[in-house]
Amino acid sequence: MRQAFFGHGASRGSALGRARVRLPHALEVAEERISPAQVEAELARLHAAIETVRGEMHALRERLHGALAHEVGEFLDLHTLLLDDPELLHGLDELIRTGRYAADYALRLQRDRIASVFEAMDDAYFRSRVDDIDQVIGRIHAALHRRAGEMQGVAGEILITDNVAPAELAQLQTQGVLAIVTSAGSALSHSAILARSLHLPLVVGAAQALLKINDGDALTVDGSSGTVILEPNADDLRAHRSRVREHARERKQLHRLRREPTRTTDGVDIKLYANAESREDVAEAHALGAAGVGLYRTEFLFLQRNELPTEEEQFRAYRDVVLGMTGRSVTIRTLDLGADKADRTGLALRDEPNPALGLRGVRLSLARDGLLETQLRALLRASGYGPLRVLVPMVSSREEIRRVKRMLDQVAADLRHEGHEIAEHVPLGAMIEVPAAAIALPSFIGAIDFLSIGTNDLIQYLLAADRNNEALGELYTPLHPAVLRLIRDVIRLARARGKSVAVCGEMAGDPAFAPLLLALGLEEFSLHPATLLELRRAIRGMDLGALRARAPALLRARDRKAIEAWLRAN
Ligand code: PEP
Ligand code: MG
């Protein structure tokens, strides 16, 4: 029967496919015993499922190519190792043979047994292995319940789950998943940012979907409105087809703007930089005529792997970005691990009571011996190949910037001494995403060359509203007078001191907010290439002088409603 579910559109695009439901990590399996006569058949069923999973992973490994092969491959190798682990397999057999448990329940018992051993370890790296155990056991469990003859791959499927980790997304897309619907999550999470970058439709916060949708149900997903339709009727199918057509038409129209300037109606050129995480993003940014890369998030080099990337590996990755932009400016951010970007190398702490306020960003980089130094060496070496700027995340004090600057100077001297060709001056910038940094900016602006305002975090810290918590609803918003005033103050000071300033949070990527940022004095935006042309089109219809003339009225707005009214009056 047709049923509609509503969540939040987190990544645009329309999909039609079969549902694949992935239940939350802990297997909800009731205790079930079998008779002695059933033991052999149950063992055979389990081993057939394990073989299926092995085959799926092998097939996926074969299909991977390019940059993804490297990233996802290591992750797959680890899962294959776990699948062959004699302890895991022997334990399962014993539970079925001696304990007379059904295979499902044996999986759950074995999962809990292994997880408790890992969870008791002091080492964060080993504790993080529980996620891998869950994923491997989850795959076997899913394979146990697949009917004979059913497709084993997941191509053409829409994943329904509680939440999805950034590290999983690329793999899911490679497997052919068409869209993802989660019961939790937020449109501002890193997973959502990555989904937009992969053009993978994502609906978050569709709480009922996980309860009501079953494997194999037909679904349509609209990643713009956040609507999921179970067993769509003829009207829904027509609506889906028309969205697909509309999307294609819009892309074609936007495509024509690739070589056009981002010029307001009164003739001011606005700079649009790209946020990038991968080589594909860099290529897209270049093709769309981005002024450069405004934010390259290096943490993705550190995720999904067990050892830290070496200096050489980092150098090659950063050099690729610089070469990919053929002389346009490239801003690379030093590592911002921690909070919702936990790695597998054990660098970021796993059990911080309050990770968003914990050891993340530059705090972590400065706390781990050699980590920042290696990264700065790689960055400076890449600066020999084209214009490169270094951006520091999560700065909250002058002291942090001074420590990074001292290290940068030292590393530059060392590299020159070693005979490396590096740029004469590599500009150093600070992310302004902690309110303290915005307020104390006059105390350290002299020590930096440029600024980038990270509204994703700035909003969450200023409004005490978690960017990943859907329950907060509209409490997390750029449309708050405190947010606008703080952004205005940062832009004004930067301009007065002749420092370039951009906004690189998601606020910059939403054309609906562009009038606000332009009115507040912004002339540089950094956003994901997926929406770059849309923003260019919107700005080409705006009158900068008129917006700036209305800035005082905007700053007098006392609440969200008044700010929305200001926006409507444009
Ligand atoms: C931000 O906080 O706005 C930002 C761009 O950084 P990230 O989203 O990577 O935390
Ligand atoms: Mg941030």
**31 SS3 class:** coil
Q: Cα angle at 221 between 216 and 227, to 5 degrees? A: 120
Give me the residues paired with residue 332 across strands.
296, 390
Cα–ligand 2 centroid distance for 393 (angstroms)? 7
Beta-carbon-side half-sphere exposure of residue 268 (alpha carbons within 13 Å):
15
| Same-domain status, 126 and 274 | no
**Listed residues 144, 163, 196: the one ending a domain:** 144
φ/ψ of 183, rounded to 5, equals -80, -30
Instruction: Judge residue 98's burial from the number of C-beta atoms within 10 Å of its C-beta, 0-12 exposed, 13-18 middle, 19 or more buried.
Output: exposed
Residue 249, domain member (yes or no): yes
pLDDT of residue 78 exceeding 60, the answer is: yes
CA-CA distance, 17 to 178, in Å (whole number)? 7
**Listed residues 101, 125, 144: the one ending a domain:** 144
Residue 559, domain member (yes or no): no
Neighbours of 449 (CB within 10 A): 15
CA-CA distance, 71 to 278, in Å (whole number)? 11
Cα–ligand 1 centroid distance for 238 (angstroms)? 38
User: pLDDT tens-digit profile of 176-186?
Assistant: 899 999 998 78
Cα–ligand 1 centroid distance for 260 (angstroms)? 28
| Same-domain status, 223 and 332 | no
Q: In ligand 1, which atom is closest to the CA atom of 297?
A: 9
**Token pair for residue 132?**
């891998």
| Same-domain status, 477 and 459 | yes
CA-CA distance, 108 to 31, in Å (whole number)? 9
Question: Under a CB-based contact definition with an 8 Å cutoff, are residues 100 and 35 in contact?
Answer: yes
Contacts of 473 (CB under 8 A, 6+ apart): none
The position carrying tokens 């829409």 is: 158
Where is pLDDT greater, at 334 or 207? 334
Q: Cα angle at 201 between 199 and 206, to 5 degrees? A: 150
**Token pair for residue 185?**
């999550």
Residue 343, domain member (yes or no): yes
Residue 569, domain member (yes or no): no
CA-CA distance, 201 to 11, in Å (whole number)? 5
User: pLDDT tens-digit profile of 279-337?
Assistant: 889 999 999 999 999 999 998 888 767 789 999 999 999 999 999 999 999 999 999 98
| Same-domain status, 310 and 406 | yes
| Same-domain status, 319 and 374 | yes
Residue 552, domain member (yes or no): no
Axis-axis angle for helices 124-144, 66-83 (nearest 10): 80
The CA-to-CA distance between both ends of the chain, in Å, stands at 44
User: pLDDT tens-digit profile of 342-351?
Assistant: 666 777 777 7
Cα–ligand 1 centroid distance for 506 (angstroms)? 8
| Same-domain status, 224 and 296 | no
CA-CA distance, 345 to 303, in Å (whole number)? 8
Question: Under a CB-based contact definition with an 8 Å cutoff, are residues 456 and 463 in contact?
Answer: no
The residue to mutate among 186, 297, 452, having the most atoms of ligand 1 within 8 angstroms of its beta carbon, is 297
Cα–ligand 1 centroid distance for 425 (angstroms)? 26
**Listed residues 95, 125, 144: the one ending a domain:** 144
| Same-domain status, 311 and 397 | yes
pLDDT of residue 456 exceeding 70, the answer is: yes
pLDDT of residue 71 exceeding 80, the answer is: no
What is the reported pLDDT for 149?
A: 35
Q: Cα angle at 210 between 204 and 212, to 5 degrees? A: 125
| Same-domain status, 401 and 470 | yes
Domain that holds residue 465: 266-543
pTM assigned to the model? 0.73
- List the CATH number of the domain containing 102: 1.10.274.10
Residue 555, domain member (yes or no): no
| Same-domain status, 306 and 324 | yes
Nearest Cα residue to atom 8 of ligand 1:
456
CA-CA distance, 560 to 484, in Å (whole number)? 11
Catalytic residue list: 190, 504
Instruction: Judge residue 323's burial from the number of C-beta atoms within 10 Å of its C-beta, 0-12 exposed, 13-18 middle, 19 or more buried.
Output: middle
Task: Kindly give the residue spans of alpha helices, DSSP state H, lying in 64-102.
Answer: 66-83, 86-97
pLDDT of residue 411 exceeding 50, the answer is: yes
> Considering every ligand atom, which ligand is closest to the CA of 455?
1
**392 SS3 class:** strand
| Same-domain status, 389 and 240 | no
Cα–ligand 1 centroid distance for 413 (angstroms)? 31
| Same-domain status, 237 and 311 | no
User: Quick one: what percent of the chain has pLDDT higher than 70?
Assistant: 91
User: pLDDT tens-digit profile of 230-264?
Assistant: 999 999 999 999 999 998 998 899 999 999 999 99
> Considering every ligand atom, which ligand is closest to the CA of 458?
1
Q: Total structural domains in the chain? A: 3
Residue 568, domain member (yes or no): no
Question: Cα 559 from chain centroid?
Answer: 30
Q: In ligand 1, which atom is closest to the CA atom of 452?
A: 5
- List the CATH number of the domain containing 346: 3.20.20.60
The residue to mutate among 297, 332, 456, having the most atoms of ligand 1 within 8 angstroms of its beta carbon, is 456
> Considering every ligand atom, which ligand is closest to the CA of 197?
1
Nearest Cα residue to atom 1 of ligand 1:
454
CA-CA distance, 111 to 28, in Å (whole number)? 12
Question: Under a CB-based contact definition with an 8 Å cutoff, are residues 274 and 281 in contact?
Answer: yes
Nearest partner of 400 among 362, 432, 369, judged by Cα: 362
What is the reported pLDDT for 113?
A: 86
**Token pair for residue 317?**
């990755």
User: pLDDT tens-digit profile of 88-103?
Assistant: 888 999 999 999 999 9
- List the CATH number of the domain containing 249: 3.50.30.10
The position carrying tokens 């936990």 is: 342
**Token pair for residue 532?**
């770059």
Residues with CB under 6 A from ligand 1: 295, 297, 336, 433, 454-457, 504-505
Nearest Cα residue to atom 3 of ligand 1:
454
Nearest Cα residue to atom 4 of ligand 1:
454
Residue 367, domain member (yes or no): yes
What is the reported pLDDT for 497?
A: 98
DSSP assignment letter at 215:
T
| Same-domain status, 238 and 276 | no
> Considering every ligand atom, which ligand is closest to the CA of 295?
1
CA-CA distance, 384 to 404, in Å (whole number)? 20
Cα–ligand 1 centroid distance for 527 (angstroms)? 11
The residue to mutate among 433, 525, 527, having the most atoms of ligand 1 within 8 angstroms of its beta carbon, is 433
Question: Under a CB-based contact definition with an 8 Å cutoff, are residues 264 and 271 in contact?
Answer: no
**473 SS3 class:** helix
**302 SS3 class:** coil
The residue to mutate among 189, 357, 504, having the most atoms of ligand 1 within 8 angstroms of its beta carbon, is 504
